[in-house]
Structure 1
């Protein structure tokens, strides 16, 4: 057995052991430190309820908890395709299958010349840091679409764009993974196919279901979740006399009271600023390598996560997946960022489900947990953008914009690697 084969066997063994542990935790979900049943309840109560509505040809238009694009309906309805299993069992089985698919895709990418198996290792070891949460949320499925989109861009920009669009129809954020495509024909092809796939898929949903855009109405009413950056600030403000309180609404624990709307507005403004920074980066970027699309995807999703009014624990699944894609390339500039993402993921599991009562109660312990987790994420976002920006500047001594593909660069047409 050579070294590569040994690495792949070790990776498979680690996946089996860690996923068995995650299943064990899910089976003991009622334990106090594992959430007293709250984690699994999302599937067998909420998702199963939505499945019942979807099976009658409609989206849950009048449900304030339905805040997802129509593609989410396809994911939530898919457990019904597995006969002989309960909805909960089928959902977990499909999630594990998707998890295995992501691991295999990352491993395959890591065995190519000039690539690394570190990405597959990070996904295999990073996902269990969230305990059993990934098995009881559909974020593994949407992350899989984003990961496959990035990994297929080197062979087919059409497929990469199509997978990104399908991911965006499940949860909007996968549209961001195309921000780092090289200028020229590559970008035009990827975004054209993404747009065509999105329009066609949305048309199919509109023809098959009633109220496909009902989620937009519910999204607009969301407030400031206690686990967001703004929520952390307001939680700390309670210790300084702020009279606000925590209330369950729109499927999350949110803060209500004076100045909450102002904090929400600031969050939206920061999100807009992050998008403007990414556009400015793209305009000024002059060098692309095979790792640049991966690094950009992680940076973009980090920025939008940190500035969001909602940072649920399952959001960390997205970041772990994108960090793993970055580490498949030996020329990524995001290695320190990936380490910060893993650290933030570990703290997230302590905050929820283990000590969520402290977070909801805005105790000093809860505030400290959120301050550390969100501080790590904010640091990761700033560092990610800074390293991405430096990596795409023109090489010293050159006055004309060029692209310098590395040995592991994606196989793109020559015209796509030159600045337009």
Structure 2
């Protein structure tokens, strides 16, 4: 008698992979003291720095005159939350809440991917891509920020109001989620999303200002940052050390930065490139004529990529943002960012080799460290340029003639949510 062979569906497989990979990430976090894993530098961010900030915030004020505090006031609420979890240490509660945010992202991507005409590739990218960063995502609050950005994008199509509110909350926590509203469709959706974002941001900022003193103290410290060794400018200066440049690495503002001649020029150049990137995004927005369901997702990934590669700081945890946004793009079969997502995955894997595995080589400015940074930043730069090029082509006047995109069906937001039948 033949036995019926049952093949598990994609969602149980994704759930199994998520559980296995997150268990591995927790194991790596428990062994963070290993020299190969950074000698404790990854987890130290939570149990030393975040715990210190929690103590200050619990007294009713933001950290003032602290060069390491460079975050918008919403970050204070995120860092206070682990201290309110009963029965756990701050570190345990922080990691638990980070895993909860990770699971929320995965669940939202699965739900979006199971709609008719959508794809579970986004959930697969997030599930398998985040562990490429080893245990780093569990010891930073970037997963929580990414959750707000992902939910904003996935919600905005059905409810621009909710999308705007979530985008504003993310921006109050770490700034960059404000960019996810860049690609909202013209007309009513844009006006609604941006108006609700402005209103919610104003209200929440007011509440935080009433609860905690000095909410804008981060601005002075953020403006004083220099050129981080992992940025594009930092990579150029590190290479210049082999040509006789007299600068050196120095720990300041919570990161390894390069100090010496011409650093201010490189920093100014980075700011100029960021301004140029903003100008390109505004030009795209003014020129774009054709939207489809993936356009808001693609525009968000493109915007964050451009601002990341032109920044004076490219910390390894920034890859968490890009993985989350790339995953949202892949939930739609109409995205033009698939090759960009591949580049983001490759850059994430190489970023882990840079930090924590070979960070000593990067700080020393050895040829190994320089080549690693050239590779990681080269992949990010290629991803940013390709992302903008594909977004430009997909939404320009020539898109309709070439058949690259069409306007979404007027009832597309009200299609029933039925699970896709796996082929």
For normalisation by structure 1, the TM-score amounts to: 0.95
2:45 to 22, 25, 42: 42
Which residue does the alignment assign to 2:387?
A: 384
CA-to-partner distance for each residue in 1:303-349, whole Å, 9 max, x for gaps? 00000000000000000000000000000000000000000000000
Deviation at 1:410, TM superposition (A): 4.6
Contact 2:277–2:307 at 8 Å: present in 1 too?
A: yes
CA-to-partner distance for each residue in 1:242-291, whole Å, 9 max, x for gaps? 00000000000000000000000000000000000000001110100000
Contact 1:114–1:408 at 8 Å: present in 2 too?
A: no
1:33 to 25, 32, 36: 36
Contact 2:109–2:327 at 8 Å: present in 1 too?
A: yes
Deviation at 1:41, TM superposition (A): 0.4
Contact 2:290–2:399 at 8 Å: present in 1 too?
A: no
**Distance in 1 separating the partners of 2:195 and 2:204:** 14
2:310 to 307, 311, 325: 307
- Whether 2:331 is the aligned partner of 1:324: answer no
Which residue does the alignment assign to 1:415?
A: none
Number of paired residues?
Answer: 410
Cα 1:261–1:4 shift into 2, 3 Å: farther
Deviation at 1:223, TM superposition (A): 0.1
- Whether 2:13 is the aligned partner of 1:19: answer no
**Distance in 1 separating the partners of 2:308 and 2:188:** 29
**Distance in 2 separating the partners of 1:290 and 1:3:** 34
Question: Aligned runs of 1:4-403 on 2, under 5 Å?
Answer: 6-395=9-398
**Distance in 2 separating the partners of 1:117 and 1:20:** 22
Contact 1:271–1:304 at 8 Å: present in 2 too?
A: yes
Contact 2:400–2:406 at 8 Å: present in 1 too?
A: no
> What's the secondary structure of 2:9's corresponding residue?
helix
> What's the secondary structure of 1:239's corresponding residue?
helix
Contact 2:75–2:173 at 8 Å: present in 1 too?
A: yes
CA RMSD across the alignment: 1.9
Please list every run of 5 or more consecutive structure 2 residues that lacks an aligned counterpart in the other structure: 416-423
**Distance in 2 separating the partners of 1:396 and 1:252:** 43
CA-to-partner distance for each residue in 1:191-217, whole Å, 9 max, x for gaps? 000000100000001101100000001
Deviation at 1:394, TM superposition (A): 2.6
**Distance in 1 separating the partners of 2:328 and 2:399:** 28
> What's the secondary structure of 1:175's corresponding residue?
helix
**Distance in 2 separating the partners of 1:279 and 1:147:** 22
Please list every run of 5 or more consecutive structure 1 residues that lacks an aligned counterpart in the other structure: 413-420
Cα 1:406–1:238 shift into 2, 3 Å: farther
